[in-house]
Amino acid sequence: MTLRSKITMLVIVTFGLFIFCVYASLHYSLDQQFEEKQIFIKNSATGRYENLALTMPFLEEQHLHLVGRKSIYYGAILILCSGLIFSFLLPMILEKILFRRLYSLIRSIVYITKTQDLSSTLCVSGTDEIAILAGEMNEMLLALSNEKMLRQQALQEVQELNRNLEERVQEKAVQLQKQMYTDQLTTTPNRLQLNEDMKDAREPHLAIINVEQFRTINEFYGYQAGDDLLLELAERLIKLIEPYHYKLYRLAGDEYAILANEGNEKDFSDWMLNIHNVIEKVPFKIHGHSSYLFVTIGIAITKDKPLEKAQMALEYARQYCLPLKVYHDDLPMKETHRNNLHWIHEVQDAIQEDRVMVYYQPIMNTLTFEISKYEVLVRLLGRDGQVISPGTFLPIIKKTKLYPRLTEVVLEKSFTHFADKDVDFSINLSAADILDHGVQELIGELLEDSCIAKRVTFEFVESEEFKNPEDLSFFIKKIKAFGAKIAIDDFGSGYSNFAYILNMGAHYIKIDGSLISEIGTNPAMVAIVESIVYFAKQLGIRTIAEYVSSESVFLEAKRIGLDYVQGYYIGKPSPILVEENKFCCIH
């Protein structure tokens, strides 16, 4: 129902009720007057009230009464007709004056609602309430329009920011990918990129170039000079291979690789031999001085593990002092040598990939049964998640220059692990470690920077010989100055020279497991161990029994008077320390 219809109905009902009330009121008033006149007419002669019938004819009064009612009835009909006419005229007048402007306002609002065009305005003239309402709504539309513009601007800014962020993320991803496959020093592709490119090569021709004695250059001239030398070598190699469209890669600190997708074996090997001669005959400038490099080259021409086989050829050439060697299946290389190469690469990769693990074996005090110290032992974590024991790789690595690098990793991880623990620990050092300048510097820095120097014991194997004993004496004095302790490991397996121990000023003697393992059954071994313990006590040196693997060996070691015991019966090596500091299984 429209507003006009509602107003019309309201006016009609209102006038109808008004006419009904007027009619009822007049009708009631007329009846009341008639009754009063009929009943309460006062006689002026007698002074008493008499009935109307006594003073006036009743029919005349009744006639007058009917005439009055008709007049009221006709008047009511006239008023009702006038009201109906007015009811139809009033909405038309209101629509002319008020509703037409109101409808215009409504149509404008509906248009804005449908089109969402907040820039439109409501055009209503005048100063009445409708015009005021339209003005207020225009202000509201303006505010909404401004807010919409601000939101659109904010959305555009957010979209622009998102685009910028996406571009930056894409650029960063490209940079990271480039860094992952690029050597940071020379900006040449690295080992990862070489592995990817060899997959796509039809018949890979791979040559590995190793710079001999590069560590000596670093130590003598400094690392910056070494980096400059590597950069110059890379630039020379790039110029040499450019006409042949070969690719150059940097594999490690002193190794480069050259890859050809296909070709002839003899031509490639002859060309690499020429590269070898060019590198060694043309001097390099180091701090303004001319210096010559010596390189060794290993070549593999195969689709099956070319990098591994080129490395084998390189190691063979280095072993026999050859300038170059091409790998063939009949290469006179023993299986042990293959195994050695495997573990050299495995340990090298483990160091770079942080797969070197540190285990701790508890050492118990035989008087208090307390775990008073731990020996630090090395392990490797294979790529398959298996833990590799040191007996598999350590004898091989000790013969290489890689061993001091492995020791550096063990030193750093051990000092970090025991920094916040109130317990002693010991670390094994070899002659190669002590003679290595990098290891010496690292030990000095760790002892100086940490607060645990007095809890560290460095173990030396008695059987190892030093070409210059003064090197060992200097090192021992240096670490003793920080409060660190000295232990002789595997005592009894070598010379068992007590004078040697006195000169070293050792704090502990660790009796070799070959003696301790038999003290439970062999009286001769008991006598030897008792004599060692006796002399050690006379010298004020504490003794430690290794390889205590059973209760009988433990009880015999305690009876003999050994100060500490170590072995699987006490506790196996573990990557975490034991929770209890008491050995509760022994009473």
Q: Which of 79, 100, 115 is the last residue of a domain?
A: 115
> Same structural domain for residues 469 and 533?
yes
For residues 204 and 74, membership in a common domain is answered with no
In a domain, 297, yes or no: yes
Q: Which of 12, 14, 13, 64 is nearest to 37 (CA)?
A: 64
Q: For the segment 431-468, what is each residue's pLDDT rounded down to a tens digit?
A: 888 888 899 999 999 999 888 999 999 998 765 555 56
Q: Which two tokens stand for residue 214?
A: 């590069």
**Cα separation, 548 vs 556, whole angstroms:** 10
Same domain, 408 and 547: yes
Please report the pLDDT score of residue 52 as a whole number: 45
Shared domain for 32 and 86, answered yes or no, is yes
The H-or-E segment that residue 549 falls in is: none
Total domains present in the chain: 3
Same-domain pairing of 402 and 544: yes
pLDDT at 4: 57
Give the single-character DSSP code of 247.
Answer: E
Determine, yes or no, domain membership for 202: yes
Domain stop point among 282, 309, 333: 333
Reduce the DSSP state of residue 467 to 3 states and report it.
coil
Q: Which residue has the higher pLDDT, 482 or 13?
A: 482
pTM of the model: 0.47
Last residue of a domain, one of 94, 115, 136: 115
Encode pLDDT of 231-277 as tens digits.
Answer: 999 999 999 998 888 999 999 888 999 999 878 888 899 999 999 99
pLDDT in tens, 540-556: 999 999 999 999 999 99
> Looking at the structure, do residues 209 and 358 belong to the same domain, yes or no?
no
Give yes or no: residues 316 and 408 share one domain: no
Domain encompassing residue 429: 347-565
Which of 293, 208, 211 minimizes the C-alpha distance to 258? 208
- Asked if residue 160 belongs to a domain, the reply is no
In a domain, 27, yes or no: yes
**Mean pLDDT estimate for the chain:** 81
Would you give the DSSP letter of residue 515?
H
Residue of 346, 314, 340 lying closest to 212 (CA atoms): 314
**Would you state the pLDDT for residue 217?**
80
174 found inside a domain? no
Instruction: Give the CATH number, domain containing residue 556.
Output: 3.20.20.450
Is the residue at 444 inside a domain? yes
The residues with which 4 forms a beta bridge, in sequence order, are none
Higher-confidence position of 371 and 134: 371
Q: Residue 91: pLDDT above 90?
A: no
Same domain for 212 and 97:
no
429 and 359 in one domain? yes
One domain, residues 320 and 195: yes
My answer on whether 212 and 256 are in the same domain is yes
Vertex 169, ends 163 and 173: CA angle to 5°? Answer: 145
Is 506 domain-assigned? yes
CATH, residue 298: 3.30.70.270
DSSP string across 266-282: HHHHHHHHHHHHHHHHS
Do 465 and 378 share a structural domain?
A: yes
Judge whether 157 lies within some domain.
no
- Please report, rounded to a whole number, the percentage of residues in the chain having pLDDT higher than 90: 36
